[in-house]
Structure 1
């Protein structure tokens, strides 16, 4: 950390300017873990190149680019330096994986690597050719590009079985194509099969631990990710993302104290690095964990800190999501319905994020006894669902549809139509159960299955309510609302 602070005094202005144009920056780690990626470039750039790859593995994209730019400045003939610069514009696991505003820059670097590849080793040329699948010309979709890259990296990994980086980048390519609608987690399990033995052999490699956590970020697989979650922060303790990422597993398992410690550390380092997205991401996970442990005062302190933050970039999906969710979590979890009914989307937030605020307002109105006004918000959600479907965002459209059904269910309940309310909420729960959450969130504000339990409890149906809460807890262990509901249903029987 001391070394970082010395560098920060000189580079802050330049780095902050660069960050403004990038997505998913996770700060400048000082301790990065053990990475060895031999190249045929000048020996003087080997260590800087390894550092760039380590930064890449912790999603520190701005600083990784700066590292690779330094490599190319010292050795202009280093094709792999350009490979690295192109890779920083590829954001697997996040959405979008190939941001449109930086695609051209990645493509230019990939082509530069290709022009210089003739003097590289056959192994390096294989990496560069695989990279070309992401950035080659034509009108291929992002999904087609990432799938072609995965297939190419499968060949690189197969042809270079002793190359740890080939295996690690292949596993990451698998994760870039993991479908949110595949509840068998086929791609994740393929990645785990690659990474798990590597983790035993290379316990201090940042990418192996990091990608194992992503691969295991589901109710089914979370327990398998716990060893990596316990280790990753120690591998790269100066990286905000390395400090935060274990909390994905802790949240899945209901290990709230562990999640709180993880995100307090991440928030602090992200703030020191000027990394707003990572800071907000950690703050969202903190509020979520605090609400599950009854630590309302600490949650309000985080929300108060959030409200002092200015100039948030709503074009960054991660920033927009966290800025929207942080205050809503507390209001809704505490059942402050009149306050929820006043919530409005943040200016400039993308439609998929604005939908959460519309949902909160609709639920607040319905549960506050204003069903007709709530239905107006449900209609807005129907419009957002259609808008997202038209734009090609099928996942966002599906989520908006779930939110709309939840508002309609509470409106039906408020109007005295009990059977319609249960049918609508059951439909929402079943649709939500069929997909995974995105990494940007610790979970829905309130899971649909938990809301179904609340609805059934309000209708004096303790048996079905208890069953709904039990199922909700299998998917999201330790959630306070479901635990309270389960006890209330038992007491009512």
Structure 2
């Protein structure tokens, strides 16, 4: 991965600070959006404000403001489009089932009002594509219908920036996780980049560019938008968090920590618990990459005390993932095996804990206990398959492959274990992480490298660890595995390189991990 020089990054930050976004008409700074409608002036003003919220995924606020626009002008049909849009929540995941009839009802009301312009009618028809036959047609198919409808609007109204913006983000939503050419993402970004130059204070453009570039091969391209978004929409919790998607991809852990601390603070104050939990999971991940385990533990403890008022997937996922990350990143396999399962209605969130337990038990020498948890993973995978959730069923399948490989290893079937782990790593390389998570508990290829090293295959392990860093730069656990491999292989240059990188990452670490303490003692480095 090509890295931006430090001077370039500093320049981006300086430019962000020196060019603040224009404030909207209230005290809150959310950016600047104008979505032309045929509604009355007072409704138009409220509609624009609703779009500020919507573009930063602040759904409760956007829906409330769209409803206020309707109160100001009951004939403002396009406001029903906004209400239907708000019911999708983050479009990168299926909306809550209870939202589907509500979204369809809003779209139908908008259609019945016969909006004042053909453009507005096409917008309403497009959002309806996401809801029509929701009880008969699966989510993925409806997303593809929605994409086709958004493309039609964007084509018919080529001078309408909002149409291009809506089409661009839908290209990302509809992209196949297995497409490593990133055709949809690059097409969407190509639409947004010139608009961003014309509208540098538009929150949605910066936000969606981050989503479109939120892939290892593209992440560097997202740094300018990441540096801008939090300043454009200073008071939106998601705007504070979203830059950390890019920071995570490029291994900028301190920037990720700052981003998510602020996001969690704003979300906490506004009662947006799902946003708060999501930011806290990313925060835990970043702290662990710097060896700041006490700070990570404090966030996990706070997260565990949250009583979610709304049952959404981000909160339960963050709680399960942060608990499991802590033991995984620290190599605490007995701790992983002892994790408690707190069942939710989200199979992929529950799978995280079973996965951690299975790997933890196998690596602690208890394959029988691990097999019981692997069986739960198979059950959850099949449940997701039956629900036609192709993405998450694939992710859980990869988890059970990894856990099963460690069971084989614990049983002394080393060749079979290595083959199975390599297959799991290759399967993981063919997919992408979901935006809900900063990454897996540990990359499959990193776990494969650990297995190779344990079998005395130091040079092969070293190559596997280096492959991880190309996709997941600045991972502390990867560097720790690399230095062990380099020592076993007698690669002095690589030992020095890894020691320097570890020292850099752990400059402010609390040194509670035995391997960091041992490394300081054996290398004499100030970690």
Structure 1 and Structure 2 fold alike (TM over 0.5): yes
Question: Residue 183 of structure 1 contacts residue 436 of structure 1 at CA under 8 Å; is this kept in 2?
Answer: no
Q: Is the 8 A contact 2:428 2:444 kept in 1?
A: yes
- Residue 515 of structure 2 corresponds to none
Cα drift, residue 248 of structure 1: 0.2
Answer whether contact 1:29 1:239 (CA < 8 A) is retained: no
- RMSD over aligned CA atoms reads 1.6
Paired with 1:93 and 1:106, the residues of 2 have a C-alpha distance of 13
Query: What is the deviation of 1:29?
Result: 9.5
Partners of 2:83 and 2:277 lie apart in 1 by 26
Q: Are positions 1:194 and 2:187 aligned together?
A: no
Q: In structure 2, which of residues 289, 307, 311 is the aligned counterpart of residue 310 of structure 1?
A: 307
Answer with 257-266 or 134-143: which moved more: 134-143
Matched residue, 2:32: 34
CA distance in 1, matches of 2:90, 2:301: 33
Trace 1:35-114 onto structure 2 (pairs within 5 A): 35-91=33-89, 93-96=91-94, 98-114=95-111
- What is the match of residue 257 of structure 1? 254
1:91 offset after TM fit, Å? Answer: 3.4
Q: What is the rounded CA distance, in whole Å, between the counterparts of 1:225 and 1:382 in structure 2?
A: 37
TM-score normalised by the chain length of structure 1 = 0.91
- The reply to whether residue 381 of structure 1 matches residue 380 of structure 2 is no
> 1:92·1:172 contact (CA, 8 Å) conserved in 2?
no
Give the 3-state SS of the residue equivalent to 2:66 in structure 1. Answer: helix
Residue 331 (str. 1) matches residue 327 (str. 2): yes
Whether 1:401 aligns to 2:397 is yes
**Cα distance, 1:93–1:476 mapped onto 2, change above 3 Å:** farther
Q: Indicate if the aligned counterparts of 1:45 and 1:71 stay in contact, CA closer than 8 A.
A: yes
Task: Output aligned runs, 1:32-431, within 5 Å.
Answer: 32-91=30-89, 93-96=91-94, 98-118=95-115, 120-137=116-133, 139-311=136-308, 315-431=311-427
Alpha-carbon distance, 1:372 to partner? 2.2
Query: Corresponding residue for 1:14?
Result: none
Question: 1: distance between equivalents of 2:100 and 2:64?
Answer: 17
Look up the SS of the partner of 1:452 in the other structure.
helix
Instruction: Note the C-alpha offset of 1:137.
Output: 4.6
Secondary structure in 1 matching 2:129: helix
CA distance in 1, matches of 2:487, 2:423: 27
Query: SS of 1:286's equivalent?
Result: helix
Q: TM-score, with normalisation over the residues of structure 2?
A: 0.85
- Cα distance change on mapping 1:243 and 1:29 into 2, 3 Å: farther
Contact 2:235 2:266 in 1 (8 A): yes
Alignment check: 8 A CA contact 2:300 2:319 kept: no
Q: Counterpart of 2:451?
A: 455
CA contact (8 A) 1:284 1:326 kept: yes
From the superposition, tell whether residues 221 and 197 of structure 1 become closer, same or farther in structure 2 (CA, over 3 Å): same
Match of 1:487 among 483, 488, 493: 483
Tell me, yes or no, if the aligned pair for 1:291 and 1:299 is still in contact at 8 Å.
yes
Q: Give me the whole-angstrom Cα distance separating, in 2, the residues matched to 1:73 and 1:312.
A: 28
The one-character-per-residue Cα deviations of 1:231-257 (angstroms, maximum 9, x if unpaired) are 000000111100000000000000001
Deviation at 1:299, TM superposition (A): 0.8
Rounded to whole Å, the distance in 1 between the matches of 2:348 and 2:304 is: 22
- Offset of residue 312 of structure 1: 6.4
Q: Deviations over 1:160-179 (max 9, x none)?
A: 22211111111122122112
State the aligned residue count: 463
Residue number in structure 2 paired with 1:13 = none
Report if aligned partners of 2:172, 2:212 keep a CA contact under 8 Å in 1.
yes
Give the ranges of 4+ consecutive aligned residues of structure 1 lying more than 4 Å apart after TM superposition: none
User: Which deviations, in whole Å up to 9, do the C-alpha atoms of 1:129-167 show, x marking residues without a partner?
Assistant: 222322335733322322222222222222222211111
Provide structure 2 residue ranges, at least 5 long, that are not aligned to the other structure: 1-25, 490-527
1:405: how far off?
Answer: 1.6
Deviations for 1:190-242, whole angstroms, at most 9, x for unmatched residues? 11111111112211101100000000110011011110000000000111100
Matches of 2:443 and 2:91 in 1, distance apart?
22
Report 1:454-473 matches (<5 A): 454-473=450-469
SS in structure 1 opposite 2:130?
helix
